[in-house]
Amino acid sequence: MLNKIKYSFFSLCFLLFISTAFAIERKDLIQTVEKISSAQRLLSNEISQWNKEKETLLIELSLIRSSIKDHAQSQGKLKERVEAKKKEKALLLETLSKQEMLKKNISSFIDENSKLIIQTSSKVPTSLQYLISDELKRLKSQLKSSSTTNTEKLGTINSLTSAIIKLQKEVHKTKEVVSINGEKLEVDAIYLGSFTGYFRSASAVGLLTLKDGKWIAEVTSDKSENIISLFNQFEKKAAPKIIKLPIGGSK
């Protein structure tokens, strides 16, 4: 009986151990299953989140690629603009160089022609200087001024040249003071432009010619009749007729 009770006791203990062990295993299994389920849910959430982020990343990647393409195109256009600007700069420098050369040529032209026109002006008879005096004074003043532009100087040279040309085309009757035999004498004078002049006074008749930059009075008795006729015709005191007179000039 005792042995039977012992057997029963041990059997009960064994069953309790087995039941306890099984309960422990079941509990661990449930916890494991729960952990697996939790891990699956977490993984599912991570996958879902990744898919969302992936779409966003793909869009951003597409934008980046498009930006890179646009940037490359912009760089190409920028490079073209830079090359175009380089060509414009080279052309500008060439133009500036030509302008500087032209400016020097114009300055040289102004210097040379100013000297020539001033020298020509000095050959205009004293009594006719008033016809060009304004332009001549202006030109001399401009040549001394650093603020006067080349355009202004050229304009004055042109005006003075035009005044001299106009003077050369006309016949002028005026009063002149001449030197005859060392004596100063006021005479009537007629100038054909500024090439040749003729004078008349109560005591002498003759030619006015330019010699060595000065106008000289030369008494010419053999031509006095024609010279007097010239004055009379010019003053309308005689009928027009053909007369012969020498045409002199600068000697």
pLDDT digits (tens, 9 = 90+) for 90-139: 888 888 788 788 778 888 899 999 999 999 999 999 999 999 999 999 99
Question: Which pLDDT score, from 0 to 100, does residue 14 have?
Answer: 46
DSSP track, the chain = -HHHHHHHHHHHHHHHHHHHHHHHHHHHHHHHHHHHHHHHHHHHHHHHHHHHHHHHHHHHHHHHHHHHHHHHHHHHHHHHHHHHHHHHHHHHHHHHHHHHHHHHHHHHHHHHHHHHHHHHHHTS-GGGGGGTHHHHHHHHHHHH-SSS-HHHHHHHHHHHHHHHHHHHTSEEEEEEEEEETTEEEEEEEEEETTTEEEEE-SS-EEEEEEETTEEEEEE-GGGHHHHHHHHHHHTTSS-----------B-
Q: How far apart are CA 133 and CA 191, in angstroms?
A: 18
Question: Which pLDDT score, from 0 to 100, does residue 129 have?
Answer: 94
Q: Which residues of the chain fall below pLDDT 50?
A: 1-10, 12-17, 21-22, 249-251
